[in-house]
A and B are shown apart, each in its own frame.
Chain A
Amino acid sequence: MTVITKVQSESIKLHKMNYIRNKQIILNNILFEMNSDDFILMTGQNGSGKSTLLRIIAGLMKPDCFQLTYNNTINKSSWSSSKKILRQKFCYLHQTPYLFSGTVYDNIAYGLKHKGLKKVEVDNRVEEALSLVDLQHLFDRKSHALSGGEKQRIAIARSWVIQPKFILLDEPFANMDKHSRSSTYDIINQLKADHIGVVLTSHDPHSGELNFNRHLHLHQGKMVEKDTPLNLSSIHF
């Protein structure tokens, strides 16, 4: 199904990461590293800084202090050059995804338009993405007419179609019913099968269908690597 075959694993390491807002330490000397085969669960209480960390990793928010190492070779400490790498490699999905005005097609094709693809190719990729999330029938539906669960799945398809190295999913199961949740598990497993590194934050204790290979826990600005998790159902939030 996937058009681009990924063979080479890539790794990224952000260390000495600090983020302070209003004299409050949100992230304190964080070390975050992952490679494109990782499937990471990130936990932490509300307000522990999970979303902030994900946005920094995605190059959307500037930390006060950091150092970036990419593929063990490239080292960067300036934000302007680091954010370019981060933005190229990571795709971040908001807890409540934002869909642009226009149709579902317009949304999924958005990221492909920067790649200089021909229209036929864009159409094919959009079709593939829609079949991944099993929403082909919504091809020309206006984005504002979608339900919350559909929006979330379209947003994941929109990220998948550009084939990033890593996808950051911020509470993807929030406000989802059982059916949408189950179909989202399938989509996330497909990301894993496509060798896209995934970081997922979740408070959903009911999932037994996602098997992570790493578990990171944020607490009071510090991050701890926990024992390899199991699945979401066995984690105490």
Chain B
Amino acid sequence: MNDLSTATSQAFTLLLSGDAQLWEIIFLSFSVSFRAILFSAPLAILIAFGLSYFQFTGRRFFIALFNTAMSIPAVVVGLTLYLLLSRSGPLGDLKLLFTQEAMIVGQMVLCFPLLVALSHATLQSVDRRAWETAITLGAHPFRAVFTVLKEARFGLTAAVLAGFGRIIAEVGSSMMVGGNILHYTRNIPTAIALETSKGSFAQGIALGIVLLAMALLLNLLLMYFQGKGELAL
């Protein structure tokens, strides 16, 4: 208990002192995960829309596939990508292993099924009349898609946040394809794993606090928008 409180107080000191290395790791972590979610979300949401609004053979199979892929372990994604990107792998010539790009790809693979599954659940619950009304009022089908997405914006935002939560905290994939290289591919989860293995609990806890604080901030923002501007605390 004593160790925990000492480490926590040291963590706050580290954070407040503006430790450059610590803040670099934090920035890198959010930069990688933001890019991963940014690249994944549009396509995932469009696929979810297709699964919700169009009837085609194999539709249920794809839904089951995405639902299953939600629970794929991060380390399995990391291992698969490692084998693909390693020098002897089929994509070895791309020289992406141990780069931020590889971390982004890994995180995209991880959050994609979650984004599709949650967006699909959200879009399924949007009233079908929204689509029909948009079309009958003369909207081009693309515009009608955006109208439906707008109607589902709170649920879709929650899906994106859940996807972000999944990747910002994952360690398995980032460690395997990023390599935890200081100043280049070290992010919050891999740094926590490293610091903990070294016994530097203060830095690990500080990074954990940042993760939680950011998660809280994002959720408060979501609540703010869901409450249409009123933060119901």
A positions within 8 Å CB-CB of B: 55, 58-60, 87-88, 90-92, 94, 96-98, 100-101, 110-111, 114-115, 158-159, 162
Set B127, B135, B137: member contacting A158, Cβ < 8 A? B137
Set A91, A100, A114, A115: member contacting B136, Cβ < 8 A? A91
Within the assembled complex, what's the spacing in Å between the Cα atoms of A97 and B127?
11
Within 8 A of A (CB), among B114-157: 127, 129-130, 132-140, 143, 147, 150-151
Interface size classification for chain B: 10 to 19
Is there contact, CB below 8 Å, between A92 and B136? yes
Best-buried of A87, A158, A159 by chain B (most CB within 10 Å): A87
Is there contact, CB below 8 Å, between B138 and A100? no
For residue B151, which residue of chain A has the nearest CB?
A101
Is there contact, CB below 8 Å, between A110 and B137? yes
Is there contact, CB below 8 Å, between A111 and B137? yes
Within the assembled complex, what's the spacing in Å between the Cα atoms of A92 and B143?
18
Q: With A60-B132, A96-B129, A110-B139 given, can you name 19 additional A-B contacts, CB distance below 8 Å?
A: A59-B135, A60-B135, A60-B136, A87-B136, A88-B138, A91-B137, A92-B136, A94-B132, A94-B133, A97-B129, A98-B127, A100-B133, A100-B151, A101-B151, A110-B134, A111-B139, A114-B138, A114-B139, A159-B137
A98-B130, A100-B130, A101-B150 given as contacts; is B140 within 8 A of A87 (CB)? Answer: no
For residue B143, which residue of chain A has the nearest CB?
A114
Distance of A162 from chain B, by nearest CB (Å): 6
Return chain A residues, CB-CB under 8 Å to B143. 114
The 6 closest A-B pairs by CB, nearest first: A98-B129, A111-B137, A92-B136, A98-B133, A114-B138, A60-B132
Within the assembled complex, what's the spacing in Å between the Cα atoms of A97 and B133?
8
Within the assembled complex, what's the spacing in Å between the Cα atoms of A100 and B135?
13
For residue A91, which residue of chain B has the nearest CB?
B136
Within 8 A of A (CB), among B10-58: none
Is there contact, CB below 8 Å, between B132 and A92? yes
Distance of A154 from chain B, by nearest CB (Å): 12
Return chain B residues, CB-CB under 8 Å to A91. 136-137
Is there contact, CB below 8 Å, between A162 and B138? yes
Distance of B21 from chain A, by nearest CB (Å): 46
For residue B130, which residue of chain A has the nearest CB?
A98
Distance of B155 from chain A, by nearest CB (Å): 12
Is there contact, CB below 8 Å, between A87 and B127? no
Distance of A62 from chain B, by nearest CB (Å): 11
Return chain B residues, CB-CB under 8 Å to A158. 137
Is there contact, CB below 8 Å, between B133 and A58? no
Return chain B residues, CB-CB under 8 Å to A90. 136
Is there contact, CB below 8 Å, between B133 and A87? no
